[in-house]
Amino acid sequence: MLNIIKYKISAVYSDLVFHLKRWQHAKNLPALEKRDRIILETLKRDGVCVTTLADLGLHSNSELLKAAYAQLSRMQNPNNEYLAEKWPQITTVTGLPEFYKWATQKRLLNIIENYIGVPITFHGVHLRKDFPSDNQFGTLLWHSDAEDRRIVKIFICLNDVEAKTGPFEYIPRSLTSLFSWQYYWLYYKLLKSSYMGIDDKDVKKVIPKSAWKSCPGPAGTVIFADTKNTLHHGTVRTETRSTLFFCYTANPPERPDLCTQFWDDTYPRAELTSSEVEKVLV
């Protein structure tokens, strides 16, 4: 019991220090263009902002997509047809220049720093294939991520996403504010699940399905999400979905141990081919 009390006190103190740092850093936040401020304000309001690569208008979009589809073509199809639960196939592509270059563009980093409120760090990017499923498990359950107090993850859809491919779905933050009973009920359920996630039927008890927000869209759809403070999940699908996952947190994050997966050997890492190495050297 004493250790639990010490942990709680330490956590509260750590959160207060973080909020103080945000207040101190507010005057140093980079200026944003009007189009980027719209993304920021939507993130603040809803926890999620949906756009497209074309509308975002960042440099190197074409190089990013070309590299993503090339890496997808190299991912071997897993022998998972007999499995009731087909877990995602993930490749870490952080070390490839097309992905790192896109992810660290100044405009993008400025948006994220304004949202998180303190100096940030980019951890890396996963190329991910999610397979058909008849039931909720893993990230198909409603959950929140735990790397930091505020997280921005950017998802880029590499194929058209509709109901059959299982779009990203979330509950707007206005419906689960810190002062709402729904917030405490849902996060109590998460605690009871050891933060593994809760299913649709439990969420429906406090948030009607009509209030859930789905994010379908064509290939090239871009989703900014605070995956810590916004309850979210992937939906059950009948067709495979391919996506890029980029991860940003404060520097340093609250849980650095959960961030290493974006660059270590947790998942297979993509390697440059000999021809690609030659291009980089040139």
Q: In this structure, what is the dihedral angle of CA atoms 153, 62, 267, 255, given to the nearest 10 degrees?
A: -20
pLDDT in tens, 204-245: 999 999 999 999 999 999 999 999 999 999 999 999 999 999
Tell me what pLDDT residue 168 has: 98
Please give the C-alpha separations between residue 271 and each of 96, 188, 274, in angstroms, as whole numbers: 7, 42, 9
pTM of the model: 0.94
Low-confidence ranges of the chain (pLDDT < 50): 274-275, 277-278, 280-282
Tell me what pLDDT residue 274 has: 39
CA–CA separation, 190 vs 262, rounded Å? 24
Tally of helices (H runs) and strands (E runs) in the chain: 9, 9
CA–CA separation, 280 vs 282, rounded Å? 5
Tell me what pLDDT residue 233 has: 98
Tell me what pLDDT residue 272 has: 63
Tell me what pLDDT residue 39 has: 98
> The tokens of 117 are what?
């409120």
Tell me what pLDDT residue 1 has: 54
By C-alpha distance, which of 81, 219, 232 is closest to 153?
Answer: 232
Contact 59, 232 (CB under 8 A): no
Tell me what pLDDT residue 282 has: 41
CA–CA separation, 190 vs 168, rounded Å? 19
pLDDT in tens, 168-201: 999 999 999 988 999 999 999 999 999 999 999 9
Q: Enumerate residues 6+ apart whose C-beta is below 8 A from 129.
A: 72, 75, 88, 89, 90, 240, 241, 242
Tell me what pLDDT residue 277 has: 41
